[in-house]
Chain A
Amino acid sequence: DTGVSQDPRHKITKRGQNVTFRCDPISEHNRLYWYRQTLGQGPEFLTYFQNEAQLEKSRLLSDRFSAERPKGSFSTLEIQRTEQGDSAMYLCASSLGYRASYEQYFGPGTRLTVT
């Protein structure tokens, strides 16, 4: 257990539905990352927050995706109008520091299946 939790662990949804995932980072960590991982591949960067500010978004993050980190604590990732191509593991990580070179602590992930 790294101290980063994600909820739910598994989500099965029908195409076109909206889903929301939650990440609770280690409490004193100011940086929070979201990644997506498909089968057999390494994680892909989606977005990151420095405290409550969303500082960077990957071009992978289409208009159907939105992420928030109110008050710089937990974060949510919402996918609207899900598509089958959204099926993946969504990983959250947090770190104490202001650069990507700091050690990141990963949550267990939320596995999304879109039918």
Chain B
Amino acid sequence: AQSVTQLGSHVSVSEGALVLLRCNYSSSVPPYLFWYVQYPNQGLQLLLKYTTGATLVKGINGFEAEFKKSETSFHLTKPSAHMSDAAEYFCAVSGHGGSQGNLIFGKGTKLSVKP
């Protein structure tokens, strides 16, 4: 079975500091990996995804993530945090069953940005 572990349910950084949100996955097949962001009272918005090819993936709002197969990791980073980045972030891996569409999510990491 596939699974996702997000290390740290809550991360706090200062504005302008590096953002690092950790995600490790378990998968018996080559994974498709995703990061979603959820602002309060809103649905999920795709930040970036890894399917095949280049392991460093760039997404929206200055975020990027690197797929490291040897470490089974897909950590999310941003060089300089903005106040508007405060939200909850979910890492996800695509599921089995012949469909690569349905997602298995981690429990989420809430990012706080201090002025």
A, B in one complex? no
Residues of B within 8 A of A (CB): none
Residues of A within 8 A of B (CB): none
